[in-house]
Structure 1
Amino acid sequence: MKKKSIIKRGLHLLTVMVLGVLVSTTTVSSATTVSPAADSQAWDKTFPQNNKATVEKVSYKNRLGINIVADMYLPKNFNRAKKSPAIIVGPPFTGVKEQTAGLYAQEMAARGFVTLAFDPSYTGESGGQPRNIASPDTFAEDFSAAVDFLGTRSFVDRNDIGVIGVCASGGFAVSAAQIDPRLKAIATVSMYDMGRATREGLGLAVTPNDVMTKEEQIKALEEAAEQRWIDFESGQIKYGGGTAVELKPSAEAAVREFSEYYGTPRGYHPRSLPYSLTSRGALVNFYPFEHIDTISPRPILFIAGENAHSRYYSEDAYKLAGEPKELYIVPGAGHVDLYDRMEYIPFNKLESFFKANLK
């Protein structure tokens, strides 16, 4: 695909991302499998290989019976006779495992951890029908399903499993940790509260006055509700964020930042596609920080860029969380810088956090 086409498609996807998510029409086997990635596919990631880690494609079912496909990364020359700590990595809202989540998983594996980067339900290579829908409850369940899988590997210490949630997965990981005490240490990076973002709009850290009005919120929900009838009668799902509410200046600025990653060869991946318009209602009803204080005494590390338009999500969640907790601000970094810019991503901080909290 030519660069201009990628950029145009990326801008379209990110414009609708205000109320949409990524999906794919790819289907997979329902059996639980583990196979060396090198044997089944060429390198299909948006980031370079690290020779200090290896990767295997795996699949397993979540509690809802949906088949989840993931990449499991292991340290080079890993000793499978020994039990090791593990880290689950969830992707940004518009991401698949071949992008940001995989980069984090590979780097943390190179530092000695067993890691797992997965495609959320209905997304990428994972299963789930109908395709192309956003379900916050299911996305949180996917983290617990990853614990199920890792905790039943003979080489993983099931009492030492942590999680990194990037962007929207930060909110989904926090939601999962509130009800799953098996997640022993929680880190979020460039966290997004997708419920709040859908209710209020993008980019509020830049210009708070751009928050959606009550009338705009009602209009957006009415559009999604009307679309349910159309989808039901036609059998054809409409994807994207709809047109009920125009993007405001701060949202447009956020979209341009996202397009620098998803809309160019830097982060483009063909399995990144928008979710259904009717997903809006489920997102509006998502409040991931309602019981965040119950995660205590398990530790939480919030990482955000100094200049990130999303920084206030991490700051607000930090205020609500119980101890032990830490807010770590990366100097000079924006939101998307922490997706793949190695000079900004504080991997040393993540390594020390998990080594201190996973035995």
Structure 2
Amino acid sequence: MSTENLKLTQEWDKVFPQSDAVDHEKVAFHTRFGITLAADLYKPKDASGPLPALAVAGPFGAVKEQSSGLYAQTMAERGFVTIAFDPSFTGESGGTPRYMNSPDINIEDFQAAVDYLSVREDVDAERIGIIGICGWGGMALAAAAADPRIKATVSSTMYDLSRVAAKGYFDSADSAESRNQMRATVAAQRTADYRSGTYALAGGVVDPLPEDAPDFVKDYHAYYKTPRGYHPRSLNSNDGWAVIGGSSLMNATLLGCIEEIENAVMIVHGEAAHSYYMGKDAFARLQGDNKEFVSIAGATHTDLYDGGENGAIPWERIAEFLSANLG
């Protein structure tokens, strides 16, 4: 096992202000696939004794300097050791070619984060949880199903990426014909990429916005393309994923075993989010009395990235849930 020597930015370059209540440092750890992940570690100032810990990731196509870092820092203010990490092939993390994703590799990213936290002397290895945002909210549920070391999971404004890839939004393209058309498109792109020797990028959030853009696309633009959330390493803020990057999602069943999650799960979703149905449907499948669904009135999908204009993220409720279930 070895960890690549990554060149990590040391200055504060987040889209949110630095907290005076926590210490911050850059760390790195490796996955079982040999990829080294970069992370920001946040820890309460003057903390003593092993503490509960959280690994945070998301949204899908974002970097740790955006929403996941805000969640990690805010939870550190509330007594947790936290890391916000860049997934494989993105941000400051290792892995080539760049801007690819894979359900198996990305679930492993979460598990590798748990590996890293579990051997830190300042962490109680029996009290580790995870937070996933947007597409990584679905990855978090999949990781929780795979790894019982994850004692509590919070999934915020979640996407079921494999469902969207295979069926389209609101299951509007749920047919063999639609899927086969997409497979043909990806197959042709693979040939073109191999011929050119480069991987074409799909583009991040559309900019400038067309007049007929759906409201949720406008919400993405308002986060990723403005000073509110823009970051130069963010895929969504810039050139996006490789066109063929997520081709395996269509054939995956990301949430296939979530009924078997025995540990605690909280799903937080905005009632005005276009993705709300995904959170509700996932929660309906969970079993046990240690599961909780938190519905935020009036909140859109991206309001739960940073709170939006009205402070939509229920920080105290999330912290109480995690504290109660991490002992």
The whole-number CA distance in structure 2 between the counterparts of 1:194 and 1:301 is: 18
Deviation at 1:263, TM superposition (A): 1.3
Worse overlay, 70-79 or 112-121: 70-79
Residue 318 (structure 2) aligned to one of 347, 350, 353? 350
Residue aligning to 1:326? 292
User: Is the counterpart of residue 303 in structure 1 residue 265 in structure 2?
Assistant: no
Letter in 2 for 1:136: P
The whole-number CA distance in structure 2 between the counterparts of 1:200 and 1:262 is: 25
Structure 1 gap ranges (5+): 1-28, 243-248
Deviation at 1:279, TM superposition (A): 2.3
**SS of aligned partner of 1:139:** helix
Residue aligning to 1:278? 244
Residue aligning to 1:199? 166
Residue aligning to 1:317? 282
Letter in 2 for 1:320: R
Letter in 2 for 1:112: G
**CA-to-partner distance for each residue in 1:261-303, whole Å, 9 max, x for gaps?**
001111000111211111242111232221101112x111110
Deviation at 1:214, TM superposition (A): 4.0
User: Is the counterpart of residue 54 in structure 1 residue 20 in structure 2?
Assistant: no
The whole-number CA distance in structure 2 between the counterparts of 1:52 and 1:78 is: 11
Q: TM-score, normalised by structure 2?
A: 0.90
Residue aligning to 2:95? 128
Tell me, yes or no, if the aligned pair for 1:261 and 1:268 is still in contact at 8 Å: yes
Question: How is 1:142-221 mapped onto 2 (pairs within 5 angstroms)?
Answer: 142-202=109-169, 204=170, 210-211=172-173, 214-221=176-183
The whole-number CA distance in structure 1 between the counterparts of 2:10 and 2:41 is: 14
Tell me, yes or no, if the aligned pair for 1:89 and 1:115 is still in contact at 8 Å: yes
Tell me, yes or no, if the aligned pair for 2:88 and 2:106 is still in contact at 8 Å: yes
Residue 305 (structure 2) aligned to one of 313, 318, 339? 339
Q: TM-score, normalised by structure 1?
A: 0.82
Residue 44 (structure 1) aligned to one of 13, 16, 30? 13
Letter in 2 for 1:235: G
Deviation at 1:221, TM superposition (A): 1.4
Residue aligning to 1:66? 35
The whole-number CA distance in structure 2 between the counterparts of 1:172 and 1:196 is: 12
Letter in 1 for 2:279: S
Worse overlay, 305-314 or 273-282: 273-282
The whole-number CA distance in structure 2 between the counterparts of 1:289 and 1:251 is: 30
The whole-number CA distance in structure 1 between the counterparts of 2:159 and 2:122 is: 33
Matched residue count: 312
Identity %: 44
Letter in 1 for 2:140: A
The whole-number CA distance in structure 2 between the counterparts of 1:32 and 1:220 is: 36
Considering Cα pairs closer than 8 Å and 6+ residues apart, tell me whether 1 or 2 has the greater RCO: 1
Structure 2 gap ranges (5+): 205-210
Deviation at 1:235, TM superposition (A): 1.1
User: Is the counterpart of residue 265 in structure 1 residue 233 in structure 2?
Assistant: no
Residue aligning to 1:18? none
Letter in 1 for 2:134: C
**SS of aligned partner of 1:93:** coil
Worse overlay, 96-105 or 283-292: 283-292
Tell me, yes or no, if the aligned pair for 2:100 and 2:246 is still in contact at 8 Å: no
**CA-to-partner distance for each residue in 1:126-162, whole Å, 9 max, x for gaps?**
0001111111211110000001100110110111100
Residue aligning to 2:218? 256
